[in-house]
């Protein structure tokens, strides 16, 4: 197996302290948002044999296993991250596989450069993802019941929100959500900025259920995404709890440290809380206008101490081992590739000692025995 050296991405929303604290390192004073583990071309992990991308390219069937290559091609289908949100991320959705293929092909035909700021589809893949909290973690996930949202908006006492309140009460669920989101994102910018300022003042004054939106508005003053965020469920995860974000589900991470895993894609359509491009027509094509419970996941005991976060896709499978002091060795050998990540304590994976934030890549079929006392997350695929 290969010890991984991983890149930390300094996005502006990142916490300057959470990842350094996990790693036992001194903060640099700059935001540290995501640590990437995998073979994504944007920041592939490094090993003693070269980058993980180079290692996989040299002999994909040996490293990934014949079944993985047959199902997903000669690439690692997932990207594992440690994510540290110190400020809200953009409100966003991801396409399903068919939508991603259609969108990518269309933009290719139109000759839009992949790096263009108005490009929506960087690749032809979908991007389901799972976030598992390491600390208390706040996020937004999926649409709240329109009637509850109407009450929330009405409670602010802001006159310019009344048309949205009326729509949410009067229309069927899917139509109400679609019309209100469309109206928010299509409104005159000056009028919307004034509305957001009134909403911000009211949320700050009222606190309670409104407090998360006051915090969002603090980071994104005047952004229509502040109003759009109020259409969504606010979720506070406790350590060990997780959220699965499927295609078309609007979401945003607000604050906290977590382990994130996703299909290997960069396809994001933004709804707000961002200075970046918002393609309203394409966004409305992708969003699933369905209200519902966000569905907090808790790990389910599987086999010999493994706790699995069950999801409906095959590109990744995330599980967790909590190893008590003096426990017997765990054999984690699989016929699929895996990344093992330590998040607490001190464990040994093969010949490698891992402390929090350290990880290894285990090729398909290679023996993987883990000992020690701590927490280990395992990322692999389903074939």
Q: Which residues form the catalytic set?
A: 270
Helix axis angle, 173-186 relative to 162-170, nearest 10°?
A: 160
CA angle 182, 184, 187 (to 5 degrees): 100
Whether the CB-CB separation of 184 and 192 falls below 8 Å is answered with yes
Q: What is the C-alpha separation between 377 and 135, in angstroms, rounded?
A: 15
Quote the DSSP letter at residue 6.
-
How many of the other CB atoms lie within 10 Å of CB of 179?
17
Whether the CB-CB separation of 245 and 128 falls below 8 Å is answered with yes
Whether the CB-CB separation of 361 and 4 falls below 8 Å is answered with yes
CA atoms within 13 A on the CB side of 98: 3
Q: What is the C-alpha separation between 72 and 160, in angstroms, rounded?
A: 50
* Paired residues of 257 in beta bridges: 84
Nearest to 252 by CA among 272, 237, 267, 238: 272
**DSSP-based helix, strand, coil % in the chain, nearest 5:** 30, 30, 40
Q: Which helix (H) or strand (E) holds 301?
A: strand 300-301
DSSP 21-86: HHHT----SS-B-EEEES--TTS--EETTEEHHHHHHH-HHHHH-HHHHHHH-SS--EEEEEEEES
Nearest to 297 by CA among 317, 272, 279, 280: 317
Q: What is the C-alpha separation between 193 and 195, in angstroms, rounded?
A: 5
């Amino acid at each position: 197996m290969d010890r991984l050296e991983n890149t930390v991405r300094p996005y502006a929303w990142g916490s300057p302290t959470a990842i350094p604290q996990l790693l036992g390192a001194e903060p640099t004073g700059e935001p540290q948002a995501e640590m990437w583990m995998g073979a994504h071309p944007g920041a592939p992990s490094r090993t003693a044999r070269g980058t993980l991308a180079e290692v996989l390219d040299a002999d994909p069937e040996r490293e990934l296993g014949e079944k993985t290559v047959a199902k997903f091609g000669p690439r690692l289908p997932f990207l594992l991250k440690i994510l540290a949100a110190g400020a809200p991320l953009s409100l966003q959705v991801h396409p399903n596989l068919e939508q991603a293929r259609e969108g990518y092909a269309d933009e290719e035909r139109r000759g839009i450069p992949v790096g263009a700021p108005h490009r929506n589809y960087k690749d032809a893949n979908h991007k389901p993802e799972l976030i598992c909290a390491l600390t208390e973690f706040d996020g937004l996930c999926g649409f709240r019941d329109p009637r509850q949202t109407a009450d929330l908006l009405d409670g602010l006492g802001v006159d310019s929100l009344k048309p949205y309140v009326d729509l949410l009460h009067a229309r069927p669920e899917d139509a109400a959500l679609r019309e209100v989101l469309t109206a928010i994102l299509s409104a005159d910018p000056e009028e919307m900025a004034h509305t957001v300022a009134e909403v911000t003042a009211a949320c700050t004054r009222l606190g309670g259920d409104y407090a998360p939106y006051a915090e969002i508005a603090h980071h994104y003053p005047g952004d229509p995404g502040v109003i759009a965020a109020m259409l969504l469920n606010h979720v506070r995860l406790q350590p060990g709890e997780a959220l699965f974000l499927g295609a078309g589900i609007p979401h945003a991470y607000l604050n906290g440290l977590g382990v994130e895993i996703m299909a290997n894609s960069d396809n994001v359509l933004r709804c707000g809380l961002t200075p970046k491009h918002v393609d309203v027509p394409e966004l409305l094509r992708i969003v699933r206008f369905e209200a519902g419970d966000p569905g907090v996941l808790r790990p389910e005991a599987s086999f010999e101490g493994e706790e699995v976060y069950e999801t409906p896709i095959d590109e990744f499978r995330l599980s967790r081992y909590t190893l008590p002091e003096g426990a017997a060795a765990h054999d984690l050998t699989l016929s699929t590739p895996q990344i093992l990540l330590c998040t607490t304590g001190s464990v040994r994976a093969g010949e490698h000692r891992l402390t929090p934030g350290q990880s290894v890549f285990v090729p398909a079929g290679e023996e993987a025995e883990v000992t020690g006392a701590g927490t280990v997350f395992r990322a692999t695929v389903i074939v």
